[in-house]
Chains A and B, each alone.
Chain A
Amino acid sequence: MPSAKAPARRVSTYKIVQTVLGILFAGYLLWRLYVVFIGNPAYGSDTWARFIISGVILGSVYALIAIGYTLVYGILRMINFAHGDIMMIGAFGGYFVFEALKAIPAPTLTDPKFTFSDAHPIIAVLLAFIVGSSIAALSGFFLEKIAYRPLRGAPRLVPLISAIGASIFLENAGQLLFGTQRRDYANPLILTRGDGWNLPIGGATVILPYTGVLTLVVSILLMVGLYLLVMRTRLGRSMRAVAENKQVAALMGIDVDGIISRTFIISGALAGAAGVMWGIHLGLVYYYVGFLPGIKAFTAAVLGGIGSVPGAMLGGLFLGLVESLGPAILGISFQLKDVIAFAILVLVLIFRPTGIVGEVLTEEKV
């Protein structure tokens, strides 16, 4: 029967094109890997170590933001477009804590310029994380309450546009409140950016920055905490139930709206912590700081399989590594590293829309 065959053949041509493109791309990648590592090595092992260090650190920040996307997507099946801007709010929260603590003098005999945050770096950093996370969590809560909750049950485009609007609003509120200039994060003296342990690799010393280690440790702690929260606690169980099926969850006596609120609070807190890390490690915060990390973290979430928490963590680390290693491997300029992230997003969505560890999505959900 020709009428039955026609659609089947069309799908297979698409598959063929997909496979051919995939093989071409993989071949190109292998060739580049050969050129870079064996044929004509341009960088020594110390440079690669530097790339990997910065990639892992960046990746852990992406992973934290990506978890926020994944949690919200898992429950509401919507992209929280304003998530990156929540991160910006958190980054500014931490910035103001450091500025305030820097204003308190704590002079010692050796150094009269010593300030409170230099004298008690642990308290300062903890306070920055707590304040940044809480402000971000609060904004996440209000964001959901104002811009998303009234739209429950509307067509999917409607909350998405509302999210875009909220993102624009937050970004420009940030611009009007804090101005356009980039601000330096006033780290405690011990966490001065650029300082770190010197590791001898390949005949040169590679710096393992203190700020980077702090970022990595904090994000691993937060991720483990979140995993335990989702898998072991009552709240986590309710969240999973709501993600599975809202109506049945409501029938089981779960307060669906309350759980959604809490999900936004948790994802906001993680984004806020990521913002503070961004500030401590990379140093500059400004109103637009959340945009690119937000988009990239979304890429990471898709890469790992949106809706899956471990997937978001893996995807974040993978994206961070690819971003720092990619330009060197592909032999393109570092200006184009943002293109790599977007290209990966497109490639993943074409070849494996379920991501690395994603659940099998029905077409209805994609």
Chain B
Amino acid sequence: MRKQIKLSLNAGITFGIITIFLFLVGFTSTVADILAELFHNKAATSLLGLTPQMLNMLIFLGLVGLWAGAFGSRKEKSRSDDPWGVAVLDSLITGLVHGLLVCGLVLLVGTLDLRGVRMNVYLAQVLPAAVKLFLLGKAPLAGGLFYIVFMLATGFLGGLFSRGIGRGSWRRRSAAAWKNTWESFNRLSFVTQVRGNPITRYVIYGLLLLLVFLVPLGAGQYWNYTIGTVGIYVLLGLGLNIVVGLAGLLDLGYVAFFAIGAYTMALLTAPAPHHLLWSFWIVLPVGVVLAAITGLLLGTPVLRMRGDYLAIVTLGFGEIIRILSKSDDLTAFTGGPKGVTAVGGPTLFGKPFNSAIDYVYLIFLAVLLVIFVTNRLQNSRVGRAWEAMREDETVSRAMGINTLTQKLLAFAIGAAFAGLGGAIFASRNQFTGPDDFSLMVSINVVAVVIVGGMGNIPGVIAGALVLKGLPEVLRQLQDYRVLVFGALLVAMMLWRPAGIIPSSRRKMESNKDTGVTETPKEGREG
């Protein structure tokens, strides 16, 4: 009993802190605006003295409160009996604590606001409008009391819901029914025939390809630009996938190779600073090869290290490349902080590429090529060697794999893909500069690989779509994108370290309970 109460107290405090944090980073106001756009109720008349914006925010906070209640009243694992009273009490405690914390925030913020303190000097998102919205236009005390009641009520409801849904028998029953239907559907002779047939797969792939090639025709300039960006991230993700996902080497300076591809394209095709004006189609392979060679050069000294050292050293390399390209000393060679403008574009059969849609198709072709190469590599002797190395380096060496050569190969191929991506990127933007190559690009690519599923091609594509595509759809959430990135990385590691779409080999390896892959025994650590 006492343990249950402690659990719900903890839940209340956690959700209280979450709500306060959401307010402090301005998320409550943003979400109110998003919901207003969703419901089209911006101009609706006010209800109970509340403006539609306030109602929208309350809808969101109500959902948080429901979740808190459901979370707080979850059943303790060791309990066998499960009385109603406990669940209700738990949800009430959670709601009360949640409400009290929010009430404290409201009282503090409200009094400060009344006294005319401009809080947004210190806390950038606590604008007077946001405070007014959060207080629902009421006095601090009334607002605080309202939130206590509101959180209590939503917490209670959440507890009831979780009691009904999470512990009810209907969930098991409906799951069983669904499973039965699915199994009997699978047993149909027609279904098994179609499934077993390799042609089905080709048809599905063909349809997907057709869809992918048709989408840009219907999309406008802006969306094609976005699709192109996603495509370039797929390229980068597939490249890094070889390094991180297959060979298990964490490279945090991946942007360096991207930068080399982009700068090769820019410096060799642009009129300034060198006026070489080479053709795109010649520079493209040059950029790829240069990036690969740089990968080899960087790899030779650092690949003797393991894991975390490698991560920091590659991060250092990435920053060195960026700082060098930015420095005034090399302006004559790299264009300096201002970058290189008027980067040349490709011409095919006399048609110059000048709109986003042309580049989308170019990027599609590059992605297809890279997918093909990755796929063949992955299922080859080399790919198996990489995966063996990732799982246990010592054992793979004992199996006769030359780990250093394999690592270098992985590094160079990954770098080559990044070079390809960089060259196309520079050409498409017609510009390249040091700011395109911040550490954030490396981190983004790592996130794409990890969120999607390490060592898995569809996973990387899904990761790029989720991380680079979704934020474009939800433009208001732009400010929170990177924040969510960070939280997502941690959350993925905690609950799904194998990614959204885990690769089949990883799935086989991973532990059923936690999803954490089995650890190779590590020296003294044990």
On A, residues with C-beta under 8 Å from B are 77-79, 96, 99, 146-147, 150-151, 153-162, 164-173, 176-180, 244-247, 295, 298-299, 302, 332-333, 335-336, 338-339, 342-343, 345-346, 349-350, 353, 362-366
Contact = CB atoms under 8 A, between A and B. Distances in A.
B128 interface: no
Given A164-B443, A332-B329, 14 more contacts: A154-B517, A155-B517, A155-B519, A156-B308, A157-B307, A165-B487, A168-B443, A168-B482, A168-B485, A172-B485, A173-B21, A180-B124, A335-B328, A343-B320
A156 B494 contact: no
Given A158-B493, A346-B313, A336 B327 contact: yes
Given A78-B308, A79-B312, A155-B517, A176 B522 contact: no
Given A353-B305, A365-B523, A342 B320 contact: yes
Given A245-B524, A339-B320, A178 B124 contact: yes
Contacts of A169: 483, 485-487, 490
B329 A336 contact: yes
Contacts of B516: 151, 153-155, 158
A349 B493 contact: no
Contact of B488 (A78, A157, A165): A165
A330 to B, nearest CB: 12
Contacts of A158: 493, 497, 516
B489 interface: yes
B519 A162 contact: no
B403 to A, nearest CB: 11
A180 B307 CA distance: 33
A162 B24 CA distance: 24
B183 interface: no
B72 interface: no
A166 B443 CA distance: 12
B421 interface: no
A346 B308 contact: no
B483 A364 contact: no
B311 A79 contact: yes
Contacts, number: 172
A170 B485 CA distance: 11
Interface centre among A159, A169, A171, A298 (most CB of B within 10 A): A169
Question: Majority SS of interface residues in chain A?
Answer: helix
Interface string B17-50: 0000100111000000000000000000000000
Contacts of B502: none
B123 A177 contact: yes
A178 B488 CA distance: 22
A294 B178 CA distance: 52
B316 interface: yes
Interface string B226-263: 00000000000000000010001010100000000000
Interface in B466-520: 479-480, 482-483, 485-494, 497, 516-517, 519-520
Question: Majority SS of interface residues in chain B?
Answer: helix
A349 B122 contact: no
A346 B299 CA distance: 11
A339 B125 contact: no
B315 interface: yes
B436 interface: no
Nearest to A21: B301
A96 B311 contact: no
B461 interface: no
Contact of A162 (B479, B483, B493, B525): B493
Contact of A153 (B250, B394, B489, B519): B519
Contacts of A245: 524, 526
Contacts of A336: 323-324, 327, 329
Given A146-B490, A164-B489, A176-B479, A345 B523 contact: no
Nearest to A150: B494
A295 B315 CA distance: 9
A338 B525 contact: no
17 contacts: A147-B490, A150-B494, A153-B519, A154-B517, A161-B450, A168-B485, A172-B485, A177-B125, A178-B122, A245-B524, A343-B320, A345-B312, A346-B301, A363-B306, A364-B523, A365-B523, A366-B305
Interface centre among B123, B306, B480, B525 (most CB of A within 10 A): B525
Nearest to A347: B301
A349 B316 CA distance: 12
A149 B358 CA distance: 49
A341 B302 CA distance: 16
A345 B313 contact: yes
Given A79-B311, A169-B486, A339-B323, A176 B480 contact: yes
